[in-house]
Amino acid sequence: MTAKNNRIVSGMRPTGPLHLGHYFGVLVNWVKIQEEHECYFFVADWHALTSEYADPRRIKGFVPELVKDWIAAGLDPEKCTIFHQSQVKEHAELHLLLSMMTPLGWLERNPTYKEIRQELIQKDLNTYGFLGYPVLMATDILMYKPGAVPVGHDQLPHLELTREIARRFNHLNGDFFPEPAAMLTEDSKLPGLDGRKMSKSYLNCIYLGEAMEDVRPKIMSMLTDKNRMRKSDPGDPEICNLFPYHKILTDAGKCEEIEAGCRDASWGCVDCKKLLVESMTEFLEPMQERRRKLEENPDLVWQILDEGSKKARAQAQENMEEIRDLLGFKY
């Protein structure tokens, strides 16, 4: 990223509460970069329609809950712009314009198209909107002409498609959009409670806003090293589903003690789980306290979104004026 273009754009779909995988895979990075960059973070409610179109009224309720999780995790509206995608109508206009020039083959070769359809087999995703959602994603990014976009390795194909769309627009209409670079972020190192990827659809998550009385039994029932049938059996922390949580949440010195105790069987799995409950409580309680303050003043969340959307829309309107002029649609 050049010193001239310090802008970052990223968003999330409001489809339910956020879990630890979201925090360590996305939010912890957002909190860091807001200190050094001009950041635009948006609630992608139009994107949520790709899978929730059959019952779209649910989305509205998810919007403020998502923002509460963001702010509880450490996003600061004084340091970044938090806005509401559907309240910046220029996104719809630019999406239409970019969709007219995006080759169909680019969308059909999208490697995650089939993957998501297979993962969400309970939903009918044979829609134009689902096939074309990478164009809407490109719109959300290019609208603000950022220098970079924070992405995981699995999202690189989407960003490359955004760059291709930018190049095609510039080739046809003259240079306007920068090609945003990838700001690579590490994937979350936390597995789900059952050892699979942490996912709401697998029901194997610990949520950021979840009360500790609900979190504790989840931890106590987590899978551990399946070779430890008895407490006296030595274990291997590297294949235990619990140990990745300790490596992230528990003091490093204590982790060494846990690892040694597992290998020589001086620590039982129940002991290990009880310690994780303590570490999880220490991690989640400050976040949940910030969330409770927002819940005491629900209008504040909508105020944050309204102010952020006004700021984002002012930038979007300015850019759309230039785009219409380039396309000859400035009447």
For the segment 201-214, the average pLDDT, to the nearest whole number, is 93
Cα 273 to Cα 222: distance, rounded to the nearest angstrom: 8
Q: Are residues 81 and 100 in the same domain?
A: yes
Q: Are residues 92 and 169 in the same domain?
A: yes
Q: Are residues 287 and 303 in the same domain?
A: no
**Percent of the chain at pLDDT above 70?**
95
pLDDT at res. 116: 66
Q: Are residues 71 and 174 in the same domain?
A: yes
Asked whether residue 216 is domain-assigned, the answer is yes
Q: Are residues 131 and 240 in the same domain?
A: no
Asked whether residue 227 is domain-assigned, the answer is yes
Q: What pTM value is reported for the model?
A: 0.92
Q: Are residues 162 and 259 in the same domain?
A: no
Domain span at residue 250 reads 209-291
Q: Are residues 33 and 127 in the same domain?
A: yes
Q: Are residues 229 and 303 in the same domain?
A: no
Cα 206 to Cα 215: distance, rounded to the nearest angstrom: 7
Q: Are residues 26 and 149 in the same domain?
A: yes
For the segment 136-163, the average pLDDT, to the nearest whole number, is 95
Q: Are residues 259 and 146 in the same domain?
A: no
pLDDT at res. 108: 85
DSSP state of 12: E
Task: Work out how many domains the chain is built from and give that number.
Answer: 2
- Residue 121 in this model has a pLDDT that exceeds 80: no
pLDDT digits (tens, 9 = 90+) for 155-185: 898 999 999 999 999 999 999 999 999 999 8
Structure tokens at 247: 């490596």
pLDDT digits (tens, 9 = 90+) for 12-48: 999 999 999 999 999 999 999 999 999 999 999 999 9
Asked whether residue 200 is domain-assigned, the answer is no
pLDDT at res. 120: 60
Q: Which domain CATH number covers 231?
A: 1.10.240.10
For the segment 82-99, the average pLDDT, to the nearest whole number, is 98
Calculate the CA 169 to chain-centre distance. 28
74: Cα within 13 Å, side-chain hemisphere: 15
Cα 293 to Cα 235: distance, rounded to the nearest angstrom: 43
Q: Are residues 151 and 122 in the same domain?
A: yes
151: phi > 0 → left, psi -120 to 50 → alpha, else beta; which? beta
Sequence letter at residue 280: M
